[in-house]
Amino acid sequence: MDNSLTDLNDHNLPVFSVGELSSAVKQTVEGAFHHVRVRGELSGFKRAASGHLYFALKDDAAVLDSVCWRGTAAKLAINPEDGMEVIVTGRVTTYAGRSKYQIIIESMELAGEGALLKLLEDRKKRLAEEGLFDAGRKQELPYLPDTIGVVTSPTGAVIRDILHRLNDRFPRDVILWPVIVQGETAADQITKAIRGFNALPENGPVTRPDILIVARGGGSLEDLWSFNEENVARAVAESAIPVISAVGHETDTTLIDFVSDVRAPTPTAAAEMAVPVRMEIMAAVSDMDRRMGTGITRQMEEGRAQLTGLSRGLPNLRRIIDETTQRLDEWEERLNLSLIAGMKQRENRFSVLVAGLRHPEPIIRRAVERLSAETRSLKSAATRLVKDRATALKQTGALLESYSYKSTLARGFALVTDSKGASVKAASDVSQGMALSIEFHDGHADVMAAGEKSKEKPNKVGKKTRKKTDTRQGTLL
């Protein structure tokens, strides 16, 4: 072919934008694979904060990106995990942002019984490592519960079998929490039922059961899978009410059989474990009543025989009482005689003591005389003391008067004070025109200082100087 023709044909092809081409590819892929089922192994599982699930399906040949939106993820029958082989149903579409294709998941189920068993073994191993299967944490069943809670389907034969068996053995109050026991939402309903029974208050309007029975009939591994879910197993393990698991037939084993307090092979057997047989209890009570009556009768007969034997060895009680009464009368007579003798003896002794006492009148008279003599002596001593104190006080007053400055004034001296009443002790303290007050022994006079101050220095102690007359100093008067 000519190259020019080839170039011409290329130029005649329609030109797409990237967006147009991506949209066309998307329509083509979704049109061809709008509803498909794909089998593969989960890989790179991730749950986003939005609730969407992102993972890949892979096999030996290829890898397929997968997305499960939040609304669909909440309805999945299983909890996806890495390594789980599943069959998914959905539609294939493209993701233009990365030029990739992916499948949008609408439902998911485990692929084959082998995958289920592997998942069950992995869960069992993990829960066992957490200690949920330990025998030490299992509770004992009450001997005769008042109320029994049952978690099962309300329409199946299981609840009828349980009620029939309970009525045959020992009728009890039964509270049914209806759930579906198979399907996508069965595990959540069973979990809520177990936790709902445990949340009932002790004295609330609805009686809190004393024991729980979680039951369903037989079926395949897929049919019983709801009782292998981890949330159901944990709800049973956390239950404060003892739980009997009765799922399937005797050969069926589920995960809750390992965490429950007791495993029953069938729902009917669970009812038998929950209550005893009433007739057997009544027969046992009757037998114990008969044996107790026989034992009491035998014990009373043995006691009567023993009492009769012991009474033969006892003395005559009447004779003992008579002798004791006679001895009591004798003691009473002796007691009365001894009391009379004792009283007489004490009267005689009292008379002797009274006769030896002195009459108090002479004693009182002598005490009065002694008191009068002491009083006279006290008055004489007080008079002398007062006179002595008066003489001493008079002498002290005369001495004090001799030391008074007024006596000094009487001998011709005078007391000079300034206008403030302070004494003037030296001529140097007097200034010209200074108002002074001179006190004599018979009164005082107010004067005014005149002239100049004397400049004569005071003599030293012990030296006599001739007194010079200062004609310049004026008189004070």
Q: Supply the DSSP symbol for 41.
A: E
How many beta carbons lie within 10 A of that of residue 439, not counting itself?
A: 17
Could you read off the pLDDT tens digit of each residue along the chain, which spans 477 residues?
Answer: 555 555 555 667 788 788 788 888 888 887 888 889 998 888 889 999 888 999 999 988 899 999 999 888 888 877 788 878 888 999 998 887 777 888 999 988 777 656 667 777 878 888 888 888 898 889 999 999 999 999 999 988 899 999 999 999 999 999 999 999 988 788 999 999 999 999 999 888 999 999 999 999 888 777 788 888 889 999 999 999 999 999 988 888 888 899 999 999 999 999 999 999 888 888 888 889 999 999 999 999 999 888 888 877 777 778 888 888 888 988 988 898 899 888 988 888 888 887 777 778 888 888 888 999 999 899 989 999 999 999 999 888 888 877 777 777 777 788 888 888 888 888 888 888 888 888 887 888 888 888 655 444 444 444 444 444 444 444 443
For residue 246, give the 3-state DSSP assignment.
Answer: strand
| d(C-alpha 42, C-alpha 55), whole Å | 7
CATH number for the 119-135+142-276 domain, one of 3.10.20.310, 3.40.630.30, 3.40.640.10, 3.40.50.261?
3.40.50.261
Q: 131's torsion region: left (phi>0), alpha (psi -120 to 50) or beta? A: left
Please provide the size of the chain in residues. Answer: 477
Six token digits for residue 320: 């003992």
How many beta carbons lie within 10 A of that of residue 424, not counting itself?
A: 17
CATH number for the 20-111 domain, one of 2.60.40.10, 2.40.50.140, 3.40.470.10, 3.40.640.10?
2.40.50.140
| d(C-alpha 180, C-alpha 163), whole Å | 18
175 in Cβ contact with 166 (< 8 Å): no
What are the residues facing 213 on neighbouring strands?
Answer: 150, 244
